[in-house]
Amino acid sequence: MISVEEALARILAQVHPLEPEQRPLLDALGQVLAEDVIAGFDIPPLANSAMDGYAVQAASTRGASPDEPRELDVTGEVAAGYVFSARVEAGTAVRIMTGAPLPAGADAVVPFEETDESGEHAPQAEGLRGGRVRIFKAALPENNVRAAGEDVRAGQVVLLRGCVLRAAQLGVLASLGHARVSVIRRPVVAVLSTGDELLAPEQPRAPGRIYDSNATSIAALVRQYGGIPRLLGVARDNVDDLTQKLRAGFDSDLIVTTAGVSRGDFDVVKLVLAQEGEVDFWTVNMRPGKPLAFGAFRAGARRIPHIGLPGNPVSSAVAFEIIAAEPIPMADERRFYARCVVAVEQGRYVAHLAGSQSSGALSALARANALAVIPEQGRGVAAGESVEVLMLNWDAEDPPFAQLDSAARGLDQQQSSL
Ligand code: AMP
Ligand code: MG
């Protein structure tokens, strides 16, 4: 038996990053950045105003208050996108909009709210030149000014190779003037279900048969994690069908098969896997998912890595520390991945069991948004203890309250199933 970490390390040692490709920014959403991105210039490129107001020399406003305003000559106006040509001298002000470069000579911006020009009463254009503004509050140098390079400095590494490009990262690239980006191409992952009992979802029901759900779940995970799934269908438990369906996946980057790798399984899957390449059968110290096959198929000069999953695979994303809402007992000494619903309750993340923990219960997995990791050495986790969880889907800003009722109900079933 090998640990989860060792299985992962052995798999990662046998695979390597695919080649990079250039993509338009928006088409690269969710892809992995292939090279470090270095800023070619400062952002913001020039010191600029953080508020709508008046650019001034802070010294010109010294001592200003509502009772004793300072009155300044307004010499012009500058909007975002324009550079003001003249200097701001002592005793003068330039009307300035958010994002407009700070005129030479100015060192602070007084927002409209601290002047006699309130937001509601914007002065007419003709009132500006030669007009005056009353300042009600003293400004300090740098008030309401965003310094050049405050966000990003020229030469700085802003994104590291290997990061996943989400909305914010793509925004950074756009702010640096990039229209395209070098990313690792998405892997094509072929998915093949095996088993005489399996029916494709559109087929009529038949005695002793069950619908193939793994192919859809795994293909969806492949897509969710950035791959391109290719469904190879269902292979029957015979050498010819299995060989033929497997080979249909030999132009992909990875082949995932499900079922047929347990000790009790009919030998045909193992036989074909061994004929088409090298394969190792592992027992991994985890539940569910103990039996696992890993190897590679040979297709001419190519080696296509292969992962053989048992009947009920589960995948995961990010690890968190969460409080257990209910006790999670251990059934045996294997590391236990308990299907959980994590929600925010009174400001804390709390894990509820998501129903039946039987490894065949797909509905509990569908309800779950996390797997609680119950260590192999130990007696489980008591309610109120902290527990490490692997988040399965975590765009969920809003907690999945709708699922909590069923989670609570699932607890009873859970106790009988363990
Ligand atoms: P095996 O790994 O072949 O021993 O299968 C373990 C359990 O998973 C058995 O009950 C199978 O019927 C079930 N199973 C295998 N493949 C699938 C599949 N593609 N969809 C749903 N259940 C499956
Ligand atoms: Mg089977």
Q: What is the tens place of the pLDDT at every residue in 25-66?
A: 999 999 999 999 999 999 999 999 999 999 999 999 999 999
Contact 106, 88 (CB under 8 A): yes
pLDDT tens digit sequence for 103-157: 999 999 999 999 998 654 455 444 454 599 999 999 999 999 999 998 889 999 9
Which ligand does the CA of 198 lie closest to? 1
pLDDT digits (tens, 9 = 90+) for 73-103: 999 999 999 999 999 999 999 999 999 999 9
Interval between CA 273 and ligand 1 midpoint (Å): 17
- Out of 192, 203, 268, 312, mutate this one to test ligand 1's pocket (max ligand atoms within 8 Å of CB): namely 312
What count of Cα atoms within 13 Å lies in the side-chain half-sphere of residue 341?
A: 25
CA–CA separation, 278 vs 250, rounded Å? 14
Q: Please identify, by atom number, the ligand 1 atom nearest to the C-alpha of residue 194.
A: 16
Does residue 50 contact residue 147 with C-beta atoms inside 8 Å?
Answer: no
Q: What is the pLDDT of residues 215-272, one digit of tens each?
A: 998 999 899 889 999 999 999 999 999 999 999 999 999 999 988 887 766 678 888 9
Please tell me the predicted confidence (pLDDT) of residue 303: 94
348: pLDDT strictly greater than 60: yes
What is the position in ligand 1's atom list of the atom closest to the CA of 261?
2
Q: Per-residue pLDDT for 411 more than 90?
A: no
Lowest-pLDDT choice from 155-164, 336-345, 350-359: 350-359
> How remote is the CA of residue 309 from the centroid of ligand 2, in Å?
11
pLDDT of residue 305: 95
Residues with CB under 6 A from ligand 1: 193, 195, 197-198, 210, 212-215, 258-260, 262, 265, 310-312
pLDDT(306) > 90: yes
Banded pLDDT at 377 (limits 50, 70, 90): confident
CA–CA separation, 304 and 300 (whole Å):
10
Would you call 396 exposed, middle or buried from its count of C-beta atoms within 10 A (0-12, 13-18, 19+)? middle
Round to whole Å and give the CA distance between 138 and 57: 10
CA-nearest of 266, 360, 252 to 305 is: 252
Q: In terms of pLDDT, which residue wins out, 103 or 360?
A: 103
Which ligand has an atom closest to residue 237 CA?
Answer: 2
Percent of the chain topping pLDDT 90: 60
- Give the tens place of pLDDT for each residue, 154-190: 999 999 999 889 888 899 899 999 999 999 999 999 9
pLDDT at 118: 67
Confidence (pLDDT) at 395: 54
Q: How far is the CA of 195 from the centre of ligand 2 (A)?
A: 5
338 Cα: distance to centroid of ligand 2 (angstroms): 24
Among the listed residues 115, 111, 84, the one whose alpha carbon sits nearest the alpha carbon of residue 100: 84
What is residue 393's predicted lDDT score, i.e. its pLDDT? 66
The residues near 141 (Cβ < 8 Å, ≥ 6 apart) are 58, 107, 108
| Gap between the Cα atoms of 117 and 128, Å rounded | 11
For the question of whether the overall pTM of this predicted structure is more than 0.85, the answer is no
